[in-house]
């Protein structure tokens, strides 16, 4: 009974993750993007914990805890601290395709992810059927967020979202990586996010804008 409820919960969590990613596709405020990323990671952490409960792989609880620590708290906090207010306060972000266009493309990407990943699933594998397609869709949408924005901060968030999708795929198919690799991965992401934040700051100081879509050539 509890097992079946947990599986249902996983389905709903998958739907919410997808929803959250779509919201990130449409949001225009930079601070909003970082907050949404925190919620996204929270959903990922809960999913990992539930998968851990369903499969009895208890080290997934640790993955959930690490996600909570690094991606819900540390990365959003440090991004907000590192990136100066002048960048975050700017409210409008330029979209390459416009919001309705991005949403439609996002929907198509979800379809692509669904129809390809459903073929990869072993027939009896309920867990993978529930979440593999969601993970693939989240990764593709993250890639699209990176491509479709002309601002540095949303591009960072796109990268982080993509990474979340990959983690979700790893959790549902391979039940996570070995613990030591997991630690390395989380530290990598943290350091990567921090470095990107610093780069954005340098960009701002150098060019007085972070609209990287406007950059045409490299300067010395």
Partner 1 sequence: MTARLLLNIMQVLVVMLFSPLLKGVISRLKAIIQSKRGPSIWQPYYDLYKLFRKDEVISTDASWIFRAAPLVSFAVPLLVTLLIPVLTGFPLTWAFMGDMLGGGFILSLGGFFATLAAMDTASPYGQMGSSRTRMVSFLAEPVLMCVFFVVSLVAGATIPYIVNHAWYMGGKSVIYPSHVLVVIAFFMVILAETGRIPVDNPDGHFELAMIDESKSLEYSGKGFALIKWGGYMKLFVLMTIFMNVLVTPWGLATAVTAPALTLAVLSLLLKMLAGAVLIVIIESTLAKLRLFRVAEFLGMAFVISLLGLITYFIGV
Which chain residues interact with partner 1 by CB under 8 A? 8-9, 11-12, 14-16, 18-19, 22-23, 26, 99-100, 103-104, 106-107, 110-111, 114-115, 118, 129-130, 133
Shortest CB 8 distance to partner 1, Å: 5
Query: Quick count: other Cβ atoms within 10 Å of Cβ 3?
Result: 9
Shortest CB 157 distance to partner 1, Å: 18
Q: CA 47 to CA 167: how far, in whole Å? A: 11
Name which of 68 and 141 has its Cβ closer to partner 1: 141
Shortest CB 10 distance to partner 1, Å: 9
Name which of 89 and 188 has its Cβ closer to partner 1: 89
Shortest CB 96 distance to partner 1, Å: 15
Name which of 119 and 216 has its Cβ closer to partner 1: 119
Shortest CB 18 distance to partner 1, Å: 6
Here the tokens at position 15 are 């739907």
Is 84 in contact with 199 (CB distance < 8 Å)?
no
Shortest CB 93 distance to partner 1, Å: 13
Count helices and strands in the chain by DSSP H and E runs = 9, 0
Name which of 16 and 146 has its Cβ closer to partner 1: 16
Name which of 42 and 177 has its Cβ closer to partner 1: 42
What is the DSSP secondary-structure string of 5-66? HHHHHHHHHHHHHHHHHHHHHH---HHHHHHHHHHHHHHHHHHHHHHHHHHT-THHHHHHHH
Is 25 in contact with 145 (CB distance < 8 Å)?
yes
Is 82 in contact with 210 (CB distance < 8 Å)?
no
3-state DSSP helix/strand/coil percent for the chain, to nearest 5?
80, 0, 20
Name which of 26 and 215 has its Cβ closer to partner 1: 26
């Amino acid at each position: 009974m509890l097992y079946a409820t947990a599986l249902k919960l996983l389905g709903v969590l998958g739907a919410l993750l997808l929803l959250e990613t779509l919201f990130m596709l449409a949001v225009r405020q930079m601070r909003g993007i970082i907050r949404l990323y925190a919620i996204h990671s929270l959903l990922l952490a809960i999913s990992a914990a539930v998968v851990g409960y369903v499969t009895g792989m208890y080290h997934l609880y640790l993955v959930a805890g690490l996600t909570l620590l690094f991606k819900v708290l540390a990365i959003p906090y440090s991004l907000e601290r590192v990136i100066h207010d002048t960048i975050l306060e700017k409210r409008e972000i330029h979209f390459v395709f416009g919001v309705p266009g991005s949403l439609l493309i996002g929907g198509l990407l979800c379809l692509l992810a669904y129809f390809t990943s459903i073929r990869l699933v072993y027939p009896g594998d309920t867990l993978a059927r529930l979440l593999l397609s969601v993970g693939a869709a989240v990764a593709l949408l993250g890639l699209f967020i990176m491509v479709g924005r002309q601002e540095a901060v949303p591009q960072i968030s796109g990268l982080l979202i993509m990474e979340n999708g990959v983690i979700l795929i790893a959790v549902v198919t391979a039940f996570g990586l070995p613990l030591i690799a997991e630690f390395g991965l989380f530290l990598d992401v943290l350091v990567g996010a921090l470095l990107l934040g610093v780069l954005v700051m340098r960009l701002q100081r150098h060019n007085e804008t972070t609209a990287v879509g406007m950059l045409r050539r490299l300067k010395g």
